[in-house]
A and B are shown apart, each in its own frame.
Chain A
Amino acid sequence: MKYLFTLSLFFTFIVANAQVKLLTLNDLDKRLAKGKDTTYIINFWATWCGPCIEELPHFEKINKEAAKQPIKVILVSLDFKSKLKTAVIPFVVKNKINSEVYVINEPDQQLFIEKVDKNWSGAIPATLFVNTNKKVRQFYEKEFSYNELIETLEKLK
């Protein structure tokens, strides 16, 4: 019985940790606007995108190491909405992702790609840096190494 209890606690912990919600661009914009001096690193990825998965550990590392700084990593998955429970949450649990994870909830890809950045072709991985107080909004359609992430953050200071 005690064993069962521990087990259920353990699962609650995992499930709580793997909270992945749907996110519209509007939700994201509101969140960023409230961020004040926080620098947000918003990484667009998908569970099916090889190069995205390769660079995820760098974002996780930044998120962990910058815990005491006003830096926040948000991972926005472009997986299909229907894959939230079958692909995204299992991926987040399996890989013990600690950063905030969302699945994009926009019916019109064309519109949301343009809104994120007008120069974005739609290819992923892609990453957006936003700091509302500093009026910073920089978009990169590329893969990042850990050092490149650090360098980009330094330049935004």
Chain B
Amino acid sequence: MRSVLFACFIMLGIMAKAQNGYQVGDVAADFNLKNVDGKNVSLASYEKAKGYIVVFTCNTCPVAKIYQDRVEALNKTYAVKGYPVIAINTNDPLASPGDSFVKMQERAKEKNFSYAYLEDPNHVYTKKYGAMKTPHVFVLQKTAKGNEVAYIGAIDNDQEDTNASKITFVQNAINSLLKGEKPAVTSTKAVGCSIKWKKEATSK
């Protein structure tokens, strides 16, 4: 009985941790996920990187789609400076057929993505990082501790892209990191699409 209780507590602990995900300052886990070109990609694949722009996104969310060109621009600007974009699709292909691997490949080709676009079967890294919606950005910085989370949140504060004086959160954060400074703003919130979770076999 006691061991059962104990196991329950451990499970609770694991679940709570999985739900909370990373905070700024945490060390992010590396992954090894399939890219749209069929090859696996991990953080360690980018040997010269100083950090990473990990974008949890998908094919189907209108907010994620409206940001696709801005994500591309981020990669064009910052990959050469040591901060490549790695996009990860959060959605389960059964729950959201538009997010199948084939559809991901189609989108990447159509939009000519210059960055990796990875699938995340069973939401393992979506949960581990604590992505709650699409798009949801995690900027990582390589430090002595590992790949440290430096920023979590939105790309900018102007989804419709109509305000010339918008605040470009991700760019600002990376510009600070490149100067050897801590970003002034380390977490932001924006409206996004809920993640299309895999339906559990046990439910109904």
A interface residues, Cβ below 8 angstroms from B:
46, 48-51, 78, 80, 82, 108-110, 113-114, 120-125, 141, 143
Bound: A9/B184 CA distance, A? 57
Interface: B194 (CB within 8 A)? yes
Residues of B within 8 Å of A82, CB to CB, are: 160, 162
Q: Is the CB of A113 within 8 A of B160?
A: no
Q: Is the CB of A124 within 8 A of B62?
A: no
Q: Is the CB of B193 within 8 A of A49?
A: yes
* 25 pairs, A vs B, C-beta closer than 8 Å: A48-B62, A48-B63, A49-B62, A49-B193, A51-B194, A80-B159, A80-B160, A109-B154, A109-B157, A109-B159, A109-B190, A109-B191, A110-B154, A110-B157, A110-B188, A121-B132, A121-B192, A122-B132, A122-B133, A122-B191, A122-B192, A123-B132, A123-B193, A124-B191, A141-B132
The residue in A49, A51, A113, A122 that gathers the most chain B C-beta atoms within 10 A of its C-beta is: A122
Within 8 A of A (CB), among B148-185: 154, 157, 159-160, 162
CB A53 to nearest CB in B, in angstroms, measures 12
Bound: A125/B194 CA distance, A? 7
Closest to B134 in A: A123
Bound: A120/B157 CA distance, A? 17
Q: Is the CB of B159 within 8 A of A122?
A: no
Residues of A within 8 Å of B190, CB to CB, are: 109-110, 113, 122
Residues of A within 8 Å of B109, CB to CB, are: none
Q: Taking A108-B157, A114-B189 as contacts, is the C-beta distance between A123 and B62 under 8 angstroms?
A: no
Besides A109-B154, A110-B188, A121-B192, 10 new A-B residue pairs in contact (Cβ under 8 A), listed by A number: A49-B62, A78-B191, A80-B160, A109-B190, A114-B189, A122-B132, A122-B189, A123-B193, A124-B191, A124-B192
Q: Taking A48-B62, A51-B194, A125-B194 as contacts, is the C-beta distance between A120 and B160 under 8 angstroms?
A: no
Q: For B195, give its contact among A48, A78, A122, A123 (CB under 8 Å).
A: A123
Bound: A22/B192 CA distance, A? 20
Bound: A78/B159 CA distance, A? 11
Bound: A110/B160 CA distance, A? 15
CB A86 to nearest CB in B, in angstroms, measures 13
Bound: A108/B154 CA distance, A? 12
